[in-house]
Chains A and B, each alone.
Chain A
Amino acid sequence: MVALAIVTVSACSSSSTPSPIASAPVASAPVAGTPAPAATPTPATTPKPVTITVCSLLPGSTQSAFDAFNLRVDEFEAQYPWITVQGQEYQWLATTFTAQLAAGTLPDVFTIPFTDGKGLIAQQQIVNIDSRVRALPDADQLNPNLLVNGQDSSGKIFAVPTAAYGMSLTYNRTLFTQAGLDPDKPPTTWDDVRADAQAIAQKDKVAGFAQMATQNTGGWQLSTLTYALGGRMESVGSDGKVTATVNNQYTIAALQWLQQLRWTDASMGSTFDYNWSSINQAFAAGQIGMFLGGSDLYTTLIQNDNLNPADYGITTVPLASVSTAALMGGGTLAAVNVNTTEAQRDAAVDWINYYYLGDMTNQNDAVANAKALQANKQPIGVPALPIFTKAIYDQDQTWIASYINVPTAQMAPFMNSIFTQPLDSEPVASTQTLYSLLDPVVQAVLTNKNANITSLLNAANTQVQAAIDKGE
């Protein structure tokens, strides 16, 4: 009795898991490693029913956010009546992704950061969807600089960029005001950031500036700082050989800057083990004055962390006045699981086109999406970088102009100058390993007053180089 009940639940909620009782017409997944037949275009006649699992939202999202998602699923299923879509909570975490990959519990369509695209292509963990994607109406308009993250060496598309972010300096306007600072004039240099952090720490008794340090985010943020000061974490030789350069002078300067805030000014609060989720949560709870976050963070802060919109402000990351200073950017790719049938792959690309891209290229989809979000009081008009050309982006913004409900005035400092900042992509080789090896370095600087930055970075550099050479 017990067993039956449980198994039924699992069959309903995840079709990618083979289970003895299938309650829906679930196409059986082939065993991993079976050579997939060549891709075929979508047939003209109505295809057979097919079910795909897709990522819905982050775990712990509010019910209204899920309602908005379900509304979009209904619309999609109305457009593609033969496809059944099952949403699955999903959050990409470096620390759990490989277990999901090994166990085959990833949804049929899942998202990964730009940094893992090439690696998963090389390991044949995601499907070649080149012909399917190129058949989409606006495929040729995709920003080639972003698309390259999802292509193999010969240019075949395995994954589609769905979102790109530039890092931003996210700040709490209420705390700025309380500290006697002008929230409409956020800092524009790193010295300003330091001074404002000190003011907030003293007046508001919270962290003036906070830094993530766990689950690879410490290395990620340190890289952002390094780029902004003019350094890079890796250099690629003319022969394509990658050399680790995490012990460069700019990274040293970045860590020294953190060291000053932490130990000289004591303006970083008392929590030094933030990860992506917990720093968002602390920010929304008014415990952090400033931190580096993606420009599209507003959605999460509203959906998961109950942010008071009046607190929210973003501006661009200050760039040092050296020619190599750049804004580090990244993004998300949507990919299709190898454990799928041909019909599921067709449906998966239809879903990617509808859910991730359609609202940017198609007026009807854009408006429908905006209406679904509006009905459930979800944020519309959150700043992001264009996936397609800037022209398409601007057009999309005009379609949804009347629906925009985010506090655009509070985002103006960012929007006014983001398109003038030089953008550079994350380190190319062994990116996540590089980040994870730099986590302890950031933690050491933040928790040990006498941390020796140079020797920590030298040791980390050796390990990063070893990882690059091993191809991990």
Chain B
Amino acid sequence: MPKRRGMRTWVSRDGLSTLVFLLPLLIIFGVFSWFPIGRALVMSFQETNLVSPPTWVGFNNFVNVLSDPLFGTAVSNTLYFMLLALIFGYPIPLVLAVVMSETRHFKGLYSALAYLPVVIPPVVSVLLWRFFYDASPNGVFNSILGWVGLGPFPWLQDPGTAMPSIVLEATWAAAGGTVIIYLAALLSVPPELYDAAEVDGASIWNKIWHVTLPHLRGILLITLILQFIATAQLFTEPYLFTGGGPANSTTTVLLLIYHYAFQNSLGGDYGMAAALSVMLAAFLGIFTAVYFWLTRSWSTSS
């Protein structure tokens, strides 16, 4: 500690240079983070369309959002999306990572294949999959499934299958990254633990259940929360796949915010967009807080 104080007195003679080093942070955060955050809060209590001067409307925007029939749809769609993403996207990477960590040959090939979809630009993936999802019997997926006597399925053209189709692509595109994260975490399991289990005569399955998984507990919880936060903010996939359709079955909260702000060709309702954003922020803020609390306890405990 005394050393640090020494540094500080040294710096106090150079207040100007400290300020110079601080400038990028102050300017960038001031203009592109702190100011817009404050503005979002202010706007959520205003009626503004950028054309006429803004007026204060109290909680009107929040009331309007909450009474919009689409709000309930968007919330339940978003929760449905999160649930599906959990079912599709959570176990598969874990199983893959455990299997891949035990391969003796072609390690690089496994990782490269798993990671390949992550490298493809997301927009390219969506546009390509949009074509795969062609609902005619001649569609790519329907042709393949037709070989084994399945389908044709409507994919994006049906309110029931549109959301699972979107989540399937999103999982395909993201799973490789999660696999690599798990692989790294698996390598951090202390080998002594496996040795000890081996001495106790544990089977392979027992070792996975009693050594590997408990050790991954922390990172599993964290990827879970990160996935929640990320899926709640997903925009590109539903926007490009369906634009929220058919019949609003894939309208997520984020799409609704975009809709409020930019959909009406004669000027958006930025107040309602801001109000819904603030509500989403409050909700996600809870998850974020839990995330930081967890990572803090995690890093101090290890």
Question: Are A273 and B266 in contact (CB-based, < 8 A)?
Answer: no
**Bound state CA distance, A448 and B247, in angstroms?**
9
Question: Are B262 and A95 in contact (CB-based, < 8 A)?
Answer: yes
Question: Are B134 and A432 in contact (CB-based, < 8 A)?
Answer: no
**Bound state CA distance, A36 and B134, in angstroms?**
52
A residues within 8 A CB of B245?
A: 213-214, 273, 439-440, 443
Question: Are A271 and B265 in contact (CB-based, < 8 A)?
Answer: no
**Bound state CA distance, A215 and B265, in angstroms?**
11
Question: Are A271 and B263 in contact (CB-based, < 8 A)?
Answer: no
A residues within 8 A CB of B269?
A: 472
Q: Return the contact of B159 from the options A124, A448, A472 (Cβ within 8 A).
A: A448
Q: Return the contact of B263 from the options A95, A102, A451 (Cβ within 8 A).
A: A95
**Bound state CA distance, A433 and B247, in angstroms?**
16
> Is the C-beta of A8 less than 8 angstroms from some C-beta in chain B?
no
**Bound state CA distance, A463 and B266, in angstroms?**
17
Question: Are A96 and B157 in contact (CB-based, < 8 A)?
Answer: no
> Is the C-beta of A423 less than 8 angstroms from some C-beta in chain B?
no
> Is the C-beta of B177 less than 8 angstroms from some C-beta in chain A?
no
Question: Are A440 and B152 in contact (CB-based, < 8 A)?
Answer: no
A271-B135, A447-B154, A447-B246 given; A101·B267 CB < 8 A: yes
> Is the C-beta of B264 less than 8 angstroms from some C-beta in chain A?
yes
Cβ of B122 to closest chain A Cβ, rounded Å? 20
CB neighbors of A among B229-287 (8 A): 242-243, 245-248, 262-269
Question: Are A432 and B265 in contact (CB-based, < 8 A)?
Answer: yes
Residue interface bits A271-285, CB-to-B below 8 A is 1, else 0:
111000000000000
B residues within 8 A CB of A271?
A: 134-136, 157
Question: Are B264 and A98 in contact (CB-based, < 8 A)?
Answer: yes
Question: Are A124 and B51 in contact (CB-based, < 8 A)?
Answer: yes
Cβ of A103 to closest chain B Cβ, rounded Å? 10
Cβ of B271 to closest chain A Cβ, rounded Å? 13
**Bound state CA distance, A123 and B269, in angstroms?**
14
A residues within 8 A CB of B51?
A: 123-125
- Determine which residue in B51, B157, B262, B265 has the highest number of CB atoms from chain A within 10 A of its CB, and name it: B265
A residues within 8 A CB of B156?
A: 273
> Is the C-beta of A116 less than 8 angstroms from some C-beta in chain B?
yes
Cβ of A436 to closest chain B Cβ, rounded Å? 7
Cβ of B120 to closest chain A Cβ, rounded Å? 22
A residues within 8 A CB of B268?
A: 98-99, 102
> Is the C-beta of A459 less than 8 angstroms from some C-beta in chain B?
yes
Question: Are B247 and A215 in contact (CB-based, < 8 A)?
Answer: no
A residues within 8 A CB of B158?
A: 447-448
> Is the C-beta of A120 less than 8 angstroms from some C-beta in chain B?
yes
> Is the C-beta of B50 less than 8 angstroms from some C-beta in chain A?
yes
Question: Are A102 and B50 in contact (CB-based, < 8 A)?
Answer: yes
**Bound state CA distance, A432 and B264, in angstroms?**
7
Cβ of B112 to closest chain A Cβ, rounded Å? 31
Q: Return the contact of B247 from the options A120, A436, A444 (Cβ within 8 A).
A: A444
Question: Are A270 and B136 in contact (CB-based, < 8 A)?
Answer: yes
B residues within 8 A CB of A96?
A: 262
Q: Return the contact of B243 from the options A116, A124, A273 (Cβ within 8 A).
A: A273
B residues within 8 A CB of A273?
A: 156-157, 242-243, 245-246
**Bound state CA distance, A116 and B267, in angstroms?**
11
Question: Are B159 and A447 in contact (CB-based, < 8 A)?
Answer: yes
Cβ of B210 to closest chain A Cβ, rounded Å? 49
Question: Are B135 and A116 in contact (CB-based, < 8 A)?
Answer: no
B residues within 8 A CB of A102?
A: 50, 267-268
A residues within 8 A CB of B136?
A: 269-271
Question: Are B246 and A443 in contact (CB-based, < 8 A)?
Answer: yes
Q: Return the contact of A214 from the options B52, B134, B243, B266 (Cβ within 8 A).
A: B243
Cβ of B213 to closest chain A Cβ, rounded Å? 42
Question: Are B134 and A99 in contact (CB-based, < 8 A)?
Answer: no
CB neighbors of B among A104-159 (8 A): 116, 119-120, 123-125
> Is the C-beta of B69 less than 8 angstroms from some C-beta in chain A?
yes
A residues within 8 A CB of B246?
A: 213, 272-273, 440, 443-444, 446-448
A residues within 8 A CB of B267?
A: 98, 101-102, 123
CB neighbors of A among B158-176 (8 A): 158-159
User: Which 10 residue pairs are nearest across A and B when measured between Cβ atoms?
Assistant: A444-B247, A270-B135, A443-B246, A447-B246, A119-B266, A94-B265, A97-B265, A270-B136, A443-B247, A440-B247
Instruction: Pick 13 A–B contacts, CB within 8 A, sort by A.
Output: A94-B265, A98-B266, A116-B265, A215-B243, A270-B135, A270-B137, A273-B243, A273-B245, A436-B264, A443-B245, A447-B154, A448-B158, A472-B266
Known contacts A98-B263, A436-B264, A444-B246; 8 additional CB pairs below 8 A are: A95-B262, A95-B265, A96-B262, A98-B266, A123-B52, A270-B134, A272-B157, A448-B247
